[in-house]
A and B are shown apart, each in its own frame.
Chain A
């Protein structure tokens, strides 16, 4: 074949145009632009925040879509095409140096974001995200509004829940240390409140706990566990001062629950997606020993020793099977009488969730939301600790 300029120029241009029609225009014409159940338009403030996000190239490190194989941050929902119909330009991203942000809205408080933008190392010592202290106050406010909108209506529901709990937590915090801790502890189910740490605070466990503390907690709770980490300045309610728990006391299980679950409404995030069980027990032991001054690790009531733990010469022998008569324990939700007897959980209007009231999954504000998976009962700040 002889290549003339006509052959290579026109011939190849025609191929390119055909390809452009096939993989550019036809998709654009044939793809239905139907909003998904969570898509919504952005407010002007959120749109301004999106501009700040674009200008500073956040999209080079943060993706905005969750894939079926993802487990991390935001993996509450796999991305759908209809989630993006209001996005122009698209900000899907191509690299995940930082976590995915497609469901970031409502996972954390505005305060947390502000501290984090001042310097991400404040809240997360291992982060390599740049500091955004140079942004003006208005830019940061807009950026936070945008970030809180990520996830569409699902995020809105979470933001509403955050705000609702935030009001309660702020009111409790204003009432002083003891009342505040009493309130926070009342939010933890009783089984956890009374559960000691099942593992002994061995030096090895404490060293591991310290490693976790320094990677994940120190920014807010501080070097000395007094709640005066570098991020604390931007947060309200302030991070917990563990040293006050010397007086008040806190079981290993209580700490575990709060670390696992976070404290919705405050800037305390959940760690369940990144710390496995043992790591949470270790960091609970570390906090107990270093800041509270004592750990209930491995004290009664205790079950069977884990085979991994050092042998404890004082451990009781296994009970004789004939001596056990109590019915097997199951979840209180399956045992309405037990639940009612224990007082249940706080419900809207100070009521109690007992035998006759529906479970939170059937009622509450989350019912109307697109995904009622994380429904929570509303808090009742005026309620005293039972």
Chain B
């Protein structure tokens, strides 16, 4: 493996591998943070390991390392594949891979040393911001040059999301880093505009794009409806971009901003349900494929988590519910359902679905991957339950006039449960790294049963016919 490989598929492989490495690292920070919340003196009070430094290291490594890198790796495979061409430049994409790894690594180092911008989900300090924007633009260049030389006239929905997400995020990130002169609540509104774009206009579209690609492909059937994917796409960009202030519904920001954020958070369900209907109807009568394709199993589970997290999210964007849940562990539960359940499952699905395609090497052990799936499912489901209950305990006690200190001791049991459940996820992440490494070393089964390629475009679009069975 050269430093800047130009082999076709090498960039996709390297991005996917990086994603697996960062997952195994990022969850360790999460585990340490979880242990500290259950047993605060356990680590003995080292400067670099204090909770407030572990926490940004945890989720920035997970979001920008694990999720972003696996999902981008998948994109670098399906974009040329769906365009029936090769990637414009694997060399450039590999250069971007090193730059992005540098972003994630310097993020960890700076957080542990105490350098942070203090903006939640935008903690990177400005030199790293610049590096990240450059990398995003570089990737966008490679992707759009690839699209420009496509052989296939139609552009599949996954490519809309991937290409657009690169541009959206480059633009918001540049503004984020570039307008540092904000004070007080202006700063809060602006940083949550950015923070929410990271979930809504970065992680979500990248993950949805993979779902649109993996689900029809592994189910070996065309996508159910082009029209639904159009609705979901345009609704996503229209509504998601307005919702940042739903993180500040109880802060003294102007009421009209809260109204916009609440309404558009609910309208977002148009996008969410259009997507879910589309991919689930694609799977109609073919759900049995889930047992045959581990990638499909992960991605399908991810779409269910997406349905849950978004429905929950819309509900908690309403003042009535957020009165109870804001500031509590309910939100931490929501964050894990979204980023670990939805995006994390799809990212693992991307690794298992696409790595064999780009390397031609079958997965080392499907059984291990399946075991990992169940560990992650148990961990995530457990997080969802435990953190939601903890949040309700906190929220109802506070609303009832209990002081925070009186409720704190009651949370111990949930904090311990979270650390234990988190251990499942940590083991899952290490299994994944092991499985990916051995796959890349060619230790997998000798032959992979070849399946003929199919077109993912829905038939209506291609042939002017109703989709099968409609």
Is there an interface contact between A9 and B404, defined as CB atoms closer than 8 Å?
no
With A8-B164, A84-B183 known as contacts, the answer to whether A95 contacts B327 (CB < 8 A) is yes
Chain B facing A: main interface SS: helix
With A56-B114, A59-B118, A119-B41 known as contacts, the answer to whether A5 contacts B183 (CB < 8 A) is no
Contact of A99 among B46, B168, B405 (CB under 8 A): B405
Q: Report the minimal beta-carbon distance from B123 to chain A, rounded to whole angstroms.
A: 9
Is there an interface contact between B241 and A57, defined as CB atoms closer than 8 Å?
no
Is there an interface contact between A13 and B167, defined as CB atoms closer than 8 Å?
yes
Is there an interface contact between A90 and B184, defined as CB atoms closer than 8 Å?
yes
A289 at the interface (CB under 8 A from B): no
With A72-B404, A128-B37, A128-B40 known as contacts, the answer to whether A84 contacts B184 (CB < 8 A) is yes
Q: Report the minimal beta-carbon distance from B328 to chain A, rounded to whole angstroms.
A: 7
Is there an interface contact between A27 and B50, defined as CB atoms closer than 8 Å?
no
Task: Enumerate chain B residues within 8 angstroms of A129, measured Cβ to Cβ.
Answer: 40
Task: Enumerate chain B residues within 8 angstroms of A5, measured Cβ to Cβ.
Answer: 144, 147-148, 155, 163
Is there an interface contact between A89 and B41, defined as CB atoms closer than 8 Å?
no
Chain B residue at minimal CB-CB distance from A5: B147
Is there an interface contact between A84 and B185, defined as CB atoms closer than 8 Å?
yes
- How many Å lie between the Cα of A302 and that of B251 in the bound state? 48
A188 at the interface (CB under 8 A from B): no
Is there an interface contact between B252 and A79, defined as CB atoms closer than 8 Å?
yes
Contact indicator per residue, chain A 74-106, by CB within 8 Å of chain B (1) or not (0): 000001110111111111101111110000000
- How many Å lie between the Cα of A65 and that of B117 in the bound state? 20
Chain B residues 364-396 with CB under 8 Å of chain A are 394
- How many Å lie between the Cα of A216 and that of B185 in the bound state? 35
Q: Report the minimal beta-carbon distance from B192 to chain A, rounded to whole angstroms.
A: 9
Chain B residue at minimal CB-CB distance from A120: B40
Is there an interface contact between B144 and A9, defined as CB atoms closer than 8 Å?
yes
With A90-B184, A127-B408 known as contacts, the answer to whether A22 contacts B242 (CB < 8 A) is yes
- How many Å lie between the Cα of A86 and that of B47 in the bound state? 28
A23 at the interface (CB under 8 A from B): yes
- How many Å lie between the Cα of A5 and that of B157 in the bound state? 11
B314 at the interface (CB under 8 A from A): no
Is there an interface contact between A57 and B53, defined as CB atoms closer than 8 Å?
yes
Is there an interface contact between A61 and B175, defined as CB atoms closer than 8 Å?
no
- How many Å lie between the Cα of A357 and that of B409 in the bound state? 47
Task: Enumerate chain B residues within 8 angstroms of A9, measured Cβ to Cβ.
Answer: 144, 163-164, 167
Contact indicator per residue, chain B 226-250, by CB within 8 Å of chain A (1) or not (0): 0000100110011001101101101
- How many Å lie between the Cα of A5 and that of B51 in the bound state? 44
Q: Report the minimal beta-carbon distance from A347 to chain B, rounded to whole angstroms.
A: 33
Chain A residue at minimal CB-CB distance from B43: A130
Is there an interface contact between A54 and B154, defined as CB atoms closer than 8 Å?
no
- How many Å lie between the Cα of A43 and that of B365 in the bound state? 61
With A63-B327, A126-B408 known as contacts, the answer to whether A16 contacts B171 (CB < 8 A) is yes
A58 at the interface (CB under 8 A from B): yes
Contact of A19 among B45, B242, B329 (CB under 8 A): B242
Chain B residue at minimal CB-CB distance from A98: B404
Contact indicator per residue, chain B 182-223, by CB within 8 Å of chain A (1) or not (0): 111111111101000000010000000000000000000000
Is there an interface contact between B50 and A31, defined as CB atoms closer than 8 Å?
no
Q: Report the minimal beta-carbon distance from A254 to chain B, rounded to whole angstroms.
A: 23
Chain A residue at minimal CB-CB distance from B252: A81
Chain A facing B: main interface SS: loop
A33 at the interface (CB under 8 A from B): yes
Is there an interface contact between B252 and A23, defined as CB atoms closer than 8 Å?
no
B90 at the interface (CB under 8 A from A): no
Report the interface size for chain A: residues with CB under 8 A from the other chain: 73
- How many Å lie between the Cα of A88 and that of B185 in the bound state? 9
Is there an interface contact between B237 and A16, defined as CB atoms closer than 8 Å?
yes
Chain A residue at minimal CB-CB distance from B37: A128
- How many Å lie between the Cα of A98 and that of B233 in the bound state? 40
B115 at the interface (CB under 8 A from A): yes
Is there an interface contact between A60 and B55, defined as CB atoms closer than 8 Å?
yes
Which stretch of A131-139, A141-149, A232-240 is in the interface?
Answer: A131-139
Task: Enumerate chain B residues within 8 angstroms of A127, measured Cβ to Cβ.
Answer: 40, 405, 408
- How many Å lie between the Cα of A75 and that of B304 in the bound state? 40
Is there an interface contact between B45 and A15, defined as CB atoms closer than 8 Å?
no
Contact indicator per residue, chain B 398-433, by CB within 8 Å of chain A (1) or not (0): 110111111011000001000000000000000000
B105 at the interface (CB under 8 A from A): no
Is there an interface contact between B163 and A72, defined as CB atoms closer than 8 Å?
no
Is there an interface contact between B184 and A28, defined as CB atoms closer than 8 Å?
no
Task: Enumerate chain A residues within 8 angstroms of B399, measured Cβ to Cβ.
Answer: 69
Task: Enumerate chain A residues within 8 angstroms of B248, measured Cβ to Cβ.
Answer: 92
Contact of A33 among B183, B326, B394, B401 (CB under 8 A): B183
A368 at the interface (CB under 8 A from B): no
Contact indicator per residue, chain A 37-80, by CB within 8 Å of chain B (1) or not (0): 00000000000000000111111110101010111110000011
Task: Enumerate chain B residues within 8 angstroms of A128, measured Cβ to Cβ.
Answer: 36-38, 40, 408, 415
Is there an interface contact between A133 and B45, defined as CB atoms closer than 8 Å?
yes
Chain A residue at minimal CB-CB distance from B49: A130
Is there an interface contact between A130 and B36, defined as CB atoms closer than 8 Å?
yes
Task: Enumerate chain A residues within 8 angstroms of B46, measured Cβ to Cβ.
Answer: 134
Q: Report the minimal beta-carbon distance from A125 to chain B, rounded to whole angstroms.
A: 9
Which stretch of B253-261, B282-290, B354-362, B437-445 is in the interface?
Answer: B253-261
Contact of B41 among A20, A54, A131 (CB under 8 A): A131
Q: Report the minimal beta-carbon distance from B326 to chain A, rounded to whole angstroms.
A: 8
Contact of A57 among B50, B168, B404, B408 (CB under 8 A): B50
- How many Å lie between the Cα of A58 and that of B120 in the bound state? 12
Task: Enumerate chain A residues within 8 angstroms of B117, measured Cβ to Cβ.
Answer: 89
- How many Å lie between the Cα of A83 and that of B167 in the bound state? 36
B91 at the interface (CB under 8 A from A): no
Is there an interface contact between B237 and A27, defined as CB atoms closer than 8 Å?
no
A121 at the interface (CB under 8 A from B): yes
A180 at the interface (CB under 8 A from B): no
Is there an interface contact between B237 and A28, defined as CB atoms closer than 8 Å?
no
A277 at the interface (CB under 8 A from B): no
- How many Å lie between the Cα of A119 and that of B254 in the bound state? 40
16 additional A-B residue pairs with CB within 8 Å, beyond A8-B233, A24-B193: A9-B144, A12-B237, A16-B171, A16-B172, A23-B241, A23-B242, A28-B190, A54-B118, A55-B115, A56-B52, A67-B326, A79-B252, A83-B252, A89-B191, A94-B331, A130-B52
Residues of A within 8 A of B (CB): 1-5, 8-9, 12-13, 15-17, 19-20, 22-24, 27-28, 31, 33, 54-61, 63, 65, 67, 69-73, 79-81, 83-92, 94-99, 119-121, 124, 126-134, 215-216, 273-274
Shortest 7 CB-CB contacts between residues of A and residues of B: A57-B52, A84-B184, A55-B114, A19-B241, A274-B403, A96-B327, A131-B45
Sample of 30 A–B contacts (CB below 8 Å): A3-B233, A5-B147, A5-B163, A9-B144, A15-B234, A16-B201, A17-B171, A20-B175, A23-B245, A31-B186, A33-B183, A54-B118, A57-B56, A59-B118, A60-B120, A71-B398, A72-B403, A80-B252, A81-B253, A84-B184, A85-B183, A88-B182, A88-B184, A92-B251, A94-B247, A99-B403, A126-B408, A127-B40, A132-B45, A134-B46
